[in-house]
Structure 1
């Protein structure tokens, strides 16, 4: 029986973007946003039908995602999210803190009024998703907030490294959000925004680290 494909993110094809580029971008973003459930195998055929494309661009996109350690190949037509152990999660958790705290600090000089307005709007969207209980919207708006901050420097080499970690940890974000109110009592995004506005690098580093620890740190207990 053909397994149901995941509910993929709606990512319109950009002008000048090839089918292969679009398929890879859409699948990559869907994995990052946690739309590939852990343990559930998906097939090239199912994804191709869901995307309305041939098998070739899907096969190539999955090959690249396997190379990025976002997925594992089961056979010549099926893939799934890799198994997550406590040890592996701890490595990814530590990598997130090291990379993202540094990326935020390096973005501070580029934090102009336009960036602050954009981050404020993204934080409001994130808050609205929390109020509505929209898990997927929470994940996507949170990623957008962090990507906008770290990408403030156009020459940043850290954001692609961070996205690689997000790819590997993304499928487990739904588990992290299961008890959000208990583990995330303080709006760390608001703290980060205040630090950005004040030009407070130490405060920004603290806010980003606390955001990651409060957001996903408790998963170590569940995976242990």
Structure 2
């Protein structure tokens, strides 16, 4: 599990811990969890865990089962269609905006994050790949400074993250190519349109794998 930022308030740190458990597939689709179970898993009190569950349920990352239990929703073909329709609309736009604002230092930071992803792929480390991929995308999107779009994008990633973990584990990291190199080259050229195209194609590759898994 990713370490939390010690500067964060406790409730926010606990939220991020549980969010990352979902985002990077520690909690699998259909797996039920309880407040007490999560409390023990993250080493926190009941109150911040309950608040984190409330937020994550509102974001679509969890759904209530009753009896104080929640689960990560199972993904369906229709759910995939909706999630990716929204991703195609939102994420290339944020990348396009970011390309018009990015600095050389920010490009270098993204380059470093992508090198970590490549290393995770070479080592077959699915968890490191998933975390690195998330950090690359959202480091780019943060440059756009579009908080409304970012909030929606985070919710979308939370909803497909656990299933992405299952798919990635099934096919292995060698089958997880990306378009980050193309995006980085477009960013170096300060080319918003090419950056948006690269991110869209990157999302399309993920959709193809998810669809293939659902149809298997």
Question: Is TM more than 0.5 here?
Answer: yes
CA distance in 2, matches of 1:140, 1:10: 9
Provide the residue aligned with 1:53 in structure 2. Answer: 44
Q: Greater helix percent: which structure?
A: 2
Provide the residue aligned with 2:4 in structure 1. Answer: 12
CA distance in 2, matches of 1:85, 1:175: 14
For structure 1, the residue ranges without an aligned partner over 5 or more in a row are 1-8
CA distance in 2, matches of 1:27, 1:164: 14
Provide the residue aligned with 2:180 in structure 1. Answer: 189
Tell whether the 8 Å contact from 1:39 to 1:83 is kept in structure 2 after alignment.
yes
Q: Any runs of at least 4 consecutive aligned residues in structure 1 with deviations exceeding 6 A, and if so which?
A: none
Residue 131 of structure 1, aligned match among 104, 122, 126: 122
TM-score normalised by L of structure 2: 0.91
**Residues 140-151 of structure 1: matches in 2 within 5 Å?**
140-151=131-142
Tell whether the 8 Å contact from 1:93 to 1:217 is kept in structure 2 after alignment.
no
Provide the residue aligned with 1:38 in structure 2. Answer: 29
TM-score normalised by L of structure 1: 0.88
SS at match of 1:110: coil
Residue 152 of structure 2, aligned match among 154, 161, 167: 161
Distance 1:218 1:51, change over 3 A: closer
Aligned Cα RMSD in Å? 1.7
Aligned residue pairs: how many? Answer: 213
Shift of 1:182: 4.5
Provide the residue aligned with 1:95 in structure 2. Answer: 86
